[in-house]
Amino acid sequence: MSLPALHDLEVSIPGIRIDTDPETLKMYARDQGPVQELIDPLAVVWAESVADVQETLRWASRTGTAVVPRGAGTGVSGGAHATRNCIILSLEKMNRILDIRPGDELAVVEAGVVNADLNDAVTPYGLMYAPDPASYKISTIGGNVATNAGGLRCAKYGVTRDSVLALDVVLADGTLIHTGHQSFKGVAGYDLTGLFTGSEGTLGIVVGVTVRLRYLPSDVRTVAAFFPDFRTAAAGVLAVGAARVQPSIMELLDGATMAALDGAHGSDLGSRGGALLLIQTDGFGAEAEAAAVRAVLTELGGTVSSEGSEEAERLLELRRHSRGDDVEHEIRVGEDVAVPRSQLVHYVAELERMAADHRVQLKVVAHAGDGNLHPTFWIASEEGAGGVERLNAALDESITIALRMGGTITGEHGVGQFKLRWLPQEQQAEVLALQQQIKAVFDPAGILNPGKAIPEV
Using rule CB under 8 A, residue 10 touches a second copy: no
- Encode 337-354: b = buried (16+ Cβ within 10 Å), e = exposed: bbbebebbbebbebbbeb
Q: Choose one: 7-15, 111-119, 198-206, 390-398; the region binding a second copy (CB under 8 A).
A: 198-206
* HEC sequence for the chain: CCHHHHHHHHHHCCCCEEECCHHHHHHCCCCCCCCCCCCCCCEEEECCCHHHHHHHHHHHHHHCCEEEEECCCCCCCCCCCCCCCEEEEECCCCCCEEEEECCCCEEEEECCCEHHHHHHHHHHHCEECCCCCCCCCCCEHHHHHHHCCCCCCHHHHCCHHHHEEEEEEECCCCCEEEEECCCCCCCCCCCHHHHHCCCCCCCCEEEEEEEECEECCCCEEEEEEEECCHHHHHHHHHHHHHCCCCCCEEEEEEHHHHHHHHHHHCCCHHHHCCEEEEEEEECCCHHHHHHHHHHHHHHCCCEECCCCCHHHHHHHHHHHCCCCCCCCCEEEEECCCECCHHHHHHHHHHHHHHHHHCCCEEEEEEEHHHCEEEEEEEEEHHHHHHHHHHHHHHHHHHHHHHHHCCCECCCCCCCCCCCHHHHHHHCCHHHHHHHHHHHHHHCCCCCECCCCCCCCC
Using rule CB under 8 A, residue 36 touches a second copy: no
Q: Write down the least CB distance from residue 222 to a second copy, Å.
A: 16
Spatial distance between the Cα atoms of 276 and 318, rounded to a whole number of angstroms: 12
Q: Write down the least CB distance from residue 127 to a second copy, Å.
A: 9
Q: Write down the least CB distance from residue 383 to a second copy, Å.
A: 30
Q: Write down the least CB distance from residue 104 to a second copy, Å.
A: 4
According to CB under 8 A, which one of 14, 22, 244, 328 is a site residue for a second copy?
244
According to CB under 8 A, which one of 208, 273, 371, 451 is a site residue for a second copy?
371
Q: What values do phi and psi take at 375, rounded to 5?
A: -75, 145
- Find all residues with CB under 8 Å of 181, minimum gap 6, and list them: 165, 166, 188
- Per-residue contact flags (x/-) with a second copy for residues 65 to 104, judged by CB under 8 A: ------------------------------------x-xx
Pick out residues in 393-452 that bind a second copy (CB under 8 A).
406-415, 419, 423, 426-428, 430-432, 434-435, 437-438, 441-442
- 104/262 with CB nearer a second copy: 104
Pick out residues in 112-131 that bind a second copy (CB under 8 A).
126
The site that binds a second copy (CB under 8 A) totals a number of residues, namely 92
Pick out residues in 333-362 that bind a second copy (CB under 8 A).
338-343
Using rule CB under 8 A, residue 22 touches a second copy: no
Cα torsion at 401, 404, 406, 410 (round to 10°)? 40
According to CB under 8 A, which one of 199, 305, 322, 376 is a site residue for a second copy?
199
Using rule CB under 8 A, residue 6 touches a second copy: no
Q: Choose one: 12-20, 172-180, 267-275, 355-363; the region binding a second copy (CB under 8 A).
A: 172-180
- 45/339 with CB nearer a second copy: 339
CB 107 within 8 A of CB 122: yes
Q: Write down the least CB distance from residue 194 to a second copy, Å.
A: 3
Q: Write down the least CB distance from residue 152 to a second copy, Å.
A: 12
Pick out residues in 124-163 that bind a second copy (CB under 8 A).
126, 147-148, 150, 154, 158-159, 161-162
Using rule CB under 8 A, residue 368 touches a second copy: no
Using rule CB under 8 A, residue 387 touches a second copy: no
According to CB under 8 A, which one of 367, 374, 390, 452 is a site residue for a second copy?
367
Using rule CB under 8 A, residue 51 touches a second copy: no
According to CB under 8 A, which one of 370, 378, 451, 452 is a site residue for a second copy?
370
- 61/148 with CB nearer a second copy: 148
Using rule CB under 8 A, residue 195 touches a second copy: yes
Beta-strand relationship, 43-46 and 86-90 = parallel
Pick out residues in 208-237 that bind a second copy (CB under 8 A).
214-218
- 124/126 with CB nearer a second copy: 126
Using rule CB under 8 A, residue 298 touches a second copy: no
Q: Write down the least CB distance from residue 113 to a second copy, Å.
A: 20
Spatial distance between the Cα atoms of 56 and 46, rounded to a whole number of angstroms: 10
Q: Write down the least CB distance from residue 244 to a second copy, Å.
A: 4
Q: Choose one: 44-52, 85-93, 281-289, 356-364; the region binding a second copy (CB under 8 A).
A: 281-289
Rg (CA), the chain: 22
Q: Choose one: 28-36, 62-70, 284-292, 301-309; the region binding a second copy (CB under 8 A).
A: 284-292
